[in-house]
Chains A and B, each alone.
Chain A
Amino acid sequence: MRHKVIIDADPGVDDAAAIFMALASPELDVLGLSIVAGNVALRDTVANACKLVGLSGRRDVPVHAGAAGPLVREQVYGKYARIGAFDDNLVRPGDVTVSEEHAVHFIVRSAREAVRSGETITICAIGPLTNVALALIQHPDVARGIGQIVSMGGAFEALGHRTPWAEFNIYADPDAAEIVYRSGVPIVVMPLDMTFQALFTPEHFDRFRAGGAAGEALYNLFTTFDRSDVKRFGRPGGPIHDATTIAWLIRPQLFTSRKAFVGVQVTGFTKGYTYADFYQKMDREPNATVVTDVDEAGFIALLIERIARHGP
């Protein structure tokens, strides 16, 4: 089955890998990108998204600008906020421009059309969940039209990476995450616990270069902003969190998962903390599939293979 997908993103370096991967995957019918503030400010995430779509040659995929900040909390940016807009020397500029339709409106419209057509859409959410939450609040059909939300976010045993207790996408808008988790839409959670298992090293980055202009840009980004953290991971290499969502859609057999009730702490100092009730202490029906393990070699090979498809 070909998934109809909206990629909700805040590019961002690993968003770039996810977006290039999706745009080279025939299993996915990418309806468009909905862009949110997150890793960097909205102006920059939108500019970055336009560049990525341009480099991929997929001018049929619209880029929609969405929320400039979180629902309730004060704005926080990613650890690599200094990246801002991708430097032209790293990621070549193109001529793709942003669509006039607001990202939230685009999600609402696509979901409501899906209700009418009976073919639900998938949202691949790889940034803070602000756009998705704003769409869900507006009409009950939005939840009905979304078959699943595959969300890169959260951390359980892995603890946090933006703070000691929180993963960035959830920390940046915990209220939005809670709205999404409670929406009734089946949620697939791709937490740090799993994304930390697949580490990419410079040899892998070299192999991205087979992917033409897109692959070259990806190579530039990952070699410039190295995520290797031997102290944390026990070996060299860094995760490419966001791309796991796309891999899960096109090759779910690479992953292991379990069902659980998942929620977010939305108040106090530790807001953004995510919990998963793996041992049924809360007497709540599971609302999520939590992906716990990834076949590292399989995922790395798949990402490299898809990026190469951007090549000659």
Chain B
Amino acid sequence: MKPIPIIVDCDPGIDDTIALLTAFVSPELDIRGITPVCGNQPLERTVRNALQVCELGNRTDVPVYAGCFRPMLREPIYGQFHGKSGLGNTMLPEPKKTAETLSAVDFLIEALSNAAETGEKITLCCLGPMTNLAVALRMNPQIAEGVERIVMMGGAYREAGNRTMTSEFNVLADPHAAHVVFSSGIPIVALALDATHQVMLKPEHVAEFARVSGRISETLAELMAFWDRNDVRRYGSRGGPLHDPLVMAYILAPHLFETQKARVFVEYESELCMGQTIADWYGKSGLEPNADIVTKVDAEGVIAFFLARLSRYAEEVVA
């Protein structure tokens, strides 16, 4: 089978890193580029982290394109659970790899325009605020034709927010961009907190990942250990929700997920509810669904999936 062409739009970030490390050892995926954006960390950091993670994964062949340095309208807010560097306490070597001269926005426009022409459409994995894609869409609306679908991590529907009472970080960080993307007509699979909170990466899982993941085990275990929210009241257990990696799991093992179609709206006007995502579960808006929202995840299956993938670093079946 021909590998699925993807672009990973992200803001690494610990959970972005786990997602990337998984994609790197998945021959079903043809990673055309990584487009870091201002999000969990300022742009300079997310670019640097992306470069370091490519080197960690032995995938320096994957080009990295620096994205937008700020959200469309709002001031940047940055993540709270990724430590100062964005990678917890983990210190990776100074990267030798550098970002491409082409910007992320220009790369998206170029790659998606080509895809629209050739018909070989690209799947966009959106793991951060969606500023890059929104700007590209506003510059060249016709690039939507080059997108197979967007599989994105972000939002919170029946679940409460994680950054504010109503809102999940990626959407809150650039609600205008999320609005642009959800209004674009591109098919979207939404992995919101409703899904990601079902998959807790618990301390006992971390020990297993450390055991199986070969040459990256020390780094991976350190990153994963830092991810522990230690908030049993909210999550029902120790550990941290496996947000961004679920995007890769959804693409590679969709049978582990259940979805429901709905029209999604993004609040970008109210300060109180800024970044809230609202799903029209019962057809009240009179508008067609624009997203498949993941409602149920086989958590054990997903953990087993990631263990199997990341154990490939022990087999040295890399690139």
Contacts and interface: CB of A to CB of B under 8 A. Distances in A.
A69 B176 contact: no
Contact of B105 (A69, A138, A266): A138
B135 A138 contact: yes
Given A134-B138, A138-B135, A175 B72 contact: yes
Nearest to A175: B73
Contact of A179 (B72, B105, B106): B72
Nearest to B69: A140
Contact of B179 (A72, A133, A178): A72
A72 B141 contact: no
B139 interface: yes
Interface residues of A, number: 22
A266 B268 CA distance: 10
B68 A72 contact: no
Interface in A258-282: 266-268
Interface string B148-160: 0000000000000
A178 B73 contact: yes
A72 B103 contact: no
B122 to A, nearest CB: 20
Contacts of A266: 73, 269
Given A137-B135, A138-B135, A72 B176 contact: yes
Contacts of A104: 139
B141 A179 contact: no
B146 to A, nearest CB: 16
Contact of A71 (B68, B70, B106, B138): B138
A67 B138 contact: yes
Interface string B133-172: 0010011110000000000000000000000000000000
B131 interface: yes
Contacts of A68: 141
Interface string B90-122: 000000000000010110010000000000000
Nearest to A139: B69
| Chain B residues touching A, range | 20 to 34
Interface string A10-45: 000000000000000000000000000000000000
A207 interface: no
A66 B71 CA distance: 20
Contacts of B77: none
Given A105-B106, A139-B103, A69 B73 contact: no
A130 B72 contact: no
B72 A71 contact: yes
B262 interface: no
Given A67-B138, A134-B139, A72 B69 contact: no
A227 interface: no
A30 to B, nearest CB: 23
Contacts of A137: 68-72, 131, 135
Contacts of A72: 72-73, 176, 179-180, 268
A207 to B, nearest CB: 40
Contacts of A139: 69, 103
A72 B141 CA distance: 13
A162 interface: no
Contact of A69 (B69, B70, B141, B269): B141
A267 B269 contact: yes
A104 B308 CA distance: 45
Contact of A67 (B103, B131, B139): B139
A6 B270 CA distance: 35
Contact of B139 (A102, A140, A267, A268): A102
A169 B81 CA distance: 41
B184 to A, nearest CB: 12
Q: Which of B106, B138, B270 has the most CB of A within 10 A?
A: B138
Q: Which of A69, A138, A179 has the most CB of B within 10 A?
A: A138
A68 B70 CA distance: 22
Contacts of B141: 68-69
B271 to A, nearest CB: 9
B140 A179 contact: no
A137 B131 CA distance: 9
Interface in A95-112: 102, 104-105
A268 B69 CA distance: 27
Contact of A134 (B69, B70, B135, B268): B135
Contacts of B109: 102
Nearest to B71: A137
Nearest to B269: A267
A10 to B, nearest CB: 16
Contacts of B268: 72
A138 B176 CA distance: 15
A104 B69 CA distance: 16
A263 B92 CA distance: 43
A178 B73 CA distance: 8
Contacts of A130: 138
Contacts of B140: 102
Contacts of A179: 72-73
Interface of A: 66-69, 71-72, 102, 104-105, 130, 133-134, 137-140, 175, 178-179, 266-268
Which 9 residue pairs across A and B have the least CB separation, nearest first? Answer: A267-B269, A72-B176, A137-B68, A104-B139, A140-B69, A138-B68, A175-B73, A137-B135, A67-B138
Given A139-B103, A266-B269, 12 more contacts: A67-B138, A69-B141, A71-B72, A71-B138, A71-B176, A72-B72, A72-B268, A137-B72, A138-B103, A138-B105, A179-B73, A266-B73
